[in-house]
Structure 1
Amino acid sequence: MSDHHRGAWTLHRRDDGGLLADLVVTGGDLPWLNARVDPREGLAEVRPLFAEELRLLDGIDEDVESWERAYDAVRNAVTLRYPEGQEVPEFLLHIDGNEAWWRRSDEPFDQEDA
């Protein structure tokens, strides 16, 4: 495993960089990683954004625009950082209770499809 898969990734508030949670990797099936969420003060404020995103993900085939708006709200609220501390340029992160799973990229996902 590379260093990116060791240690805790961290979730931060986008506006002030405050730590919201440690994401302790428990496994995964690349490109997805799975983690335990160790919440910090402030995570409760963004949990509704993740809950709404997951709710709309279930119906993404019927309404992709609503899911995209919900995920944009998540991305506008939080940043994800590697265990080494640098910010992840692009990521798709889901949080459900004390479980998180995500995939990440060093390039915007839209460019992968081009």
Structure 2
Amino acid sequence: MTQDDATWHVVRKGTLIGTITVTENDFLWLRGRFIAEPVFAEVKPWFDEVLAILESEDFARFDAAYDRIPQELALVSPSGPVADFLLHIEGDEAWFRWSDEPLGG
């Protein structure tokens, strides 16, 4: 479904908070340029915290820190919202995985 240069949206409660233009499709992970809207500043600390946890390899804290992201945000593909996703944003870069089915766990 996804191809290079596809545009995805990150949305919070119906408000666009950023756009991802996919530039690389690396099996399972899509990578692209992230263009933040001003309201992204409200959720940026969440992404910063998750990346800090990954860098420190304190994986026991990952789920608790990450869970609010998919609870509060939606990832919208060119075909519409996806059911589940794992999204990282750092500066103007984003990388993510997605599924049409809820992963549950």
Distance 1:7 1:94 in 2: 17
The residue number in structure 2 matching 1:95 is: 89
TM-score normalized with structure 2 length: 0.88
The residue number in structure 1 matching 2:77 is: 82
The residue number in structure 2 matching 1:50 is: 47
Q: CA-to-partner distance for each residue in 1:91-111, whole Å, 9 max, x for gaps?
A: 110000000000111223347
SS of alignment partner, residue 32 of structure 2: strand
Distance 1:46 1:110 in 2: 23
Change (3 A) 1:30 1:50: same
Q: CA-to-partner distance for each residue in 1:49-105, whole Å, 9 max, x for gaps?
A: 000011112234xx4331101110212221100113x21101110000000000111
The residue number in structure 1 matching 2:8 is: 9
TM-score normalized with structure 1 length: 0.82
Aligned CA-pair RMSD: 1.6
**1:37 aligned to which of 34, 37, 40:** 34
Comparing both structures, which one devotes a greater share of its residues to strand? 2
Give percent identity, aligned residues only. 38
For structure 2, list consecutive stretches of 5 or more residues without a partner in the other structure: none
Task: Figure out how many residues of one structure are paired with residues of the other and give that number.
Answer: 104
Distance 1:7 1:23 in 2: 8
Distance 1:97 1:104 in 2: 21
Distance 1:73 1:102 in 2: 16
Distance 2:102 2:59 in 1: 18
Misfit runs of 4+, over 6 Å: none
Contact 1:46/1:77, CA 8 A, preserved across alignment = no
